[in-house]
Structure 1
Amino acid sequence: MTAQPPAPGQPELGEDSQLARLVRIMHQLRSGCPWDAEQTHRSLATYLVEETGEVLDAIEAGDDTDLREELGDLLLQVVFHSEIAAGEGRFTIEDVAAGISDKLVRRHPYVFDQGSQPPDDIDASWEARKRAEKGRTSALEGIAEHLSVLARATKVTSRSRNHHVGVAMDDEPIGADEVGQQILSLVQRAQASGVDADQATRDALRAFERRVIEAEATG
């Protein structure tokens, strides 16, 4: 694979890079700050969720200054978790970077292998490679339980379509504005009727997941 130059505006990274500086600072904080020293993966989990939400807020606001700051806060979480693991002799930030780099190259042979062509269905190809790598037997394996119900429903639906599990799904085209309006309307009707919209959606999703599993078992 031929090394590519950095994108326009992106610096070459070395020991004097700001990323390397951040790693060194985090190392000093773990050894010199009582609060940082006592943190664990579990104690930091809530901050990871909060920082992710703040990045999303900055994206929606369209403010580059806020987005840069919030991405920095999110990057800190990655470096912090890696520093904790490094201190326990488990893995380092370099291992984290190497792992995602290797994965991206492996999952994009049509970019990094000369002569390869992009597949007709890039999403399905990505899912197929992931499934083969991880030895998964179900389209639903590996979907995070901590996702919001709407995010999980989207992921379950995408996986089920890409894996061709054979469960009927509504595929009538619909615009983004109509999606938002209909979801909001359903939430409002549910609230007026004393129905927990989140739980009702979760129940419906679980029922759909059971149908997917049954279809996979009989298919």
Structure 2
Amino acid sequence: MYRLDDLLFCMQRLRNPQTGCPWDLKQDFASILPHTLEEAYEVADAIERQDWPHLEEELGDLLFQVIFYGQIGSEQQLFDVASVIDKLVAKLIRRHPHVFPQGDLASERDPQITPQEAEVSANWEAIKAEEKRLLQASGRALPAAGLLADVPLALPGLSRAVKLQKKASAVGFDWQDVAGVLDKIREELAEVEAELESGDQQALENEIGDLLFAVTNLARHSRINPEQAIRGTNQRFQSRFEFVEQQIEQQGGWQQATSEQMESAWQAAKYYEKANS
């Protein structure tokens, strides 16, 4: 079986200036990024479909992205895969003192003592905060630009909304319960309806965004992952619509279909889905 060293060698061959692949040779950090995001989504898709053979393949594709970045970093004398692994393992040990009490990979905690999840989470955040402070003190990082400054802009919108909300919640800027969130959703929905009547497209976009942000808040308070929820809804819609397509085609096609037939087929799709779940 091929191993990690073989993959590293393969990557070096692909980037060999004389004998490598023309496509791989012209890539840089920025050009690879869209592929990395796509591979991450394909991993998520395989997991949600419980397609384990496909997941194995997609994890390989995602790993290749890391190896690719490492090779470019090595060529530019910035970092390499070995240094990435070194920093990762050191960080994991540092952030898990409840697993590695002596601060090294070999140390183990007493198996009779089970750390509490809340304590572990609080300790994790405290360690991250100290890491950030030390990094800033060393001059290797820009001064702090605010509590939300390190939430990546490239995250999917719903995921970034959750991270922003969690950061704000950590200092008490949050609704106390779900009831407050529901009130906010009703308020935002009313504002959307008002902008629909006004005809101001930019204002409508803003209000729809606010409504989505509020619904994301509801998902967070309910401990629901909004990205996972919307992907599930997308999949259900696709499955139901494919059922509707079959029904409509049997009745003469879309050009002949009435709104009543479409609604009837949609309800039949929901019933079929429930009966077979």
What TM-score comes out, normalization by structure 1 length? 0.68
| Greater RCO, 1 or 2 (C-alpha within 8 Å, sep 6+) | 1
1:30 aligned residue: 15
Equivalent residue in structure 2 for 1:167, among 173, 193, 202? 173
Structure 1: gaps (5+ residues): 1-15, 174-178, 209-219
Encode CA deviations 1:57-83: one digit per residue, 9 max, x unaligned. Answer: 111110111100001100000000100
Distance 1:197 1:58 in 2: 34
The 8 Å contact of residues 149 and 202 in structure 1, kept in 2 or not, is answered as no
Closer/same/farther in 2, CA of residues 84 and 94 from structure 1, 3 Å limit: same
Q: TM-score, normalised by structure 2?
A: 0.55
Q: Could you tell me whether the CA contact under 8 Å between 2:36 and 2:62 is conserved in 1?
A: yes
1:35 deviation in Å?
1.3
RMSD over aligned CA atoms reads 3.3
Whole-angstrom CA distance in 2 between matches of 1:202 and 1:144: 22
Q: Give 2:151's aligned amino acid.
A: I
**Displacement of 1:148:** 1.9
Unaligned runs of 5+ in 2: 102-108, 134-143, 218-277
Do the aligned residues in 1 keep the contact of 2:168 with 2:174 (CA within 8 Å)?
A: no
Measured against aligned partners, the alpha-carbon deviations of 1:124-179 in whole angstroms (never above 9, x if no partner) come to 32122111111258432321111122111211222333x3x132324339xxxxx9
Partners of 2:207 and 2:27 in 1: CA distance: 32
Residue 209 of structure 2 is matched in structure 1 by: 200
Residue pair 2:161, 2:213 contacting (<8 A) in 1 also: no
What's the counterpart of residue 10 of structure 1? none
SS at match of 2:98: helix
Identity rate, percent: 35
Q: Per the alignment, in what secondary structure is the counterpart of residue 149 of structure 2?
A: coil
Partner Cα distance (1:101, 1:168) in 2: 34
Residue 60, structure 1, aligned to residue 48, structure 2: yes
Cα drift, residue 196 of structure 1: 3.7
Separation in structure 2 between the aligned mates of residue 50 and residue 171 of structure 1, nearest angstrom:
36
Where do 1:79-158 residues align within 5 Å?
Answer: 79-113=67-101, 114=109, 118-119=115-116, 120-135=118-133, 138-158=146-166
Q: Distance in 2 between matches of 1:45 and 1:21?
A: 23
Aligned to 1:21: 6
1:215 corresponds in structure 2 to: none
